[in-house]
Structure 1
Amino acid sequence: MSKYECPMMSRGEIVAILNESQIANISENDLSKPNFDFVSDLYTRLLFHIDCLHEEEEHGQLEFAALDHLENPDFHVESVRIIKLYNRIKDVLASMDCPKSFTLKDLIKPASDRTELFLSAILNFGLHRQAKLDFLRPIVDELDFLEEQQRESEARISQVSLLDPEEKK
């Protein structure tokens, strides 16, 4: 089986994969001049797509215990959401052995070349993950089929064992 690698994709490849996968409908121009709103939305969509972000994380809710420590918690909602997203992206990219470290600046004031690198890493991982899942799908289907056969056999055995000794003959 193939090993995950992190090759750099061109803008055209990134746009094509995002559009084909229906993750985001973007253009190469969007990637040439990225801004905070664009990249935060795109990273959020990508993390959802590869199952690294969950609905409750996206909203960036503060825990009630943390609210006690803040004088005006309403002022911190957006910053908490940003920091949570940043930490999640940073963790995901670190787990992928991305050649560069993701910084808060890459989210707040993104540069096009670094954004393309990080998008390439996440997209390559998503493609690699999907290939692995497609490879394993027939094995999982076969296992499910065998488990179903086992349950049916056990049900027949239990029915037979409940019969009278006279009926078994």
Structure 2
Amino acid sequence: MHPVYPTLPTEMQAGSYSGPPGSRNERRDSPVQNGTCGHVAYTPFRLISLQTIKTMASSSLADVPTVDIDPSGVFKYMLIKLYDRKQSEENFVYIVRGYCRCIYHSDVYVEVQEKLHPLDCDIVGGGSISHEPSSKKIRIYGHAHGYGKADHEITAKLIKAAFPNYKITISDKAY
């Protein structure tokens, strides 16, 4: 069963909503306000060309990269089970997605759903990733409030395949 999410009112879409100062919904426009993402500033949505959307929409499971994470920083990530409903749900792949620009795990999930439509996604769980390219280290830890802890062993295996020269560590300890 796939979760159903309500559509946000227009004034709250595309990052235009800014809650009261100090609130959880306050817009965070700098890495200092948004966490430890290094030089990456927070942008609520990535602009995608129409050609890119058409290419993604026509892609199959084999065409989807298993890992797409930011090149550096500390950020939320989701482990997602991806499948094509037109085929058997038994034919699936796990993918890892994590971005500094996403404040909440749900932001990662929404972005993945938009990019990979018409393929279907189920959330396995989430956590956080600390990516240090200068020392070639990636740390996978924590959990996603509301989605649970991802299987960090699966995540580590996928990331190790994408970053073979890195030291990958996992921890169940939160933040």
Whether TM exceeds 0.5 here: the answer is no
Q: Which has the higher strand share?
A: 2
Higher relative contact order (CA 8 A, sep 6+): 1
Q: Which has the higher helix share?
A: 1
Q: What is the TM-score with the length of structure 2 in the denominator? A: 0.23
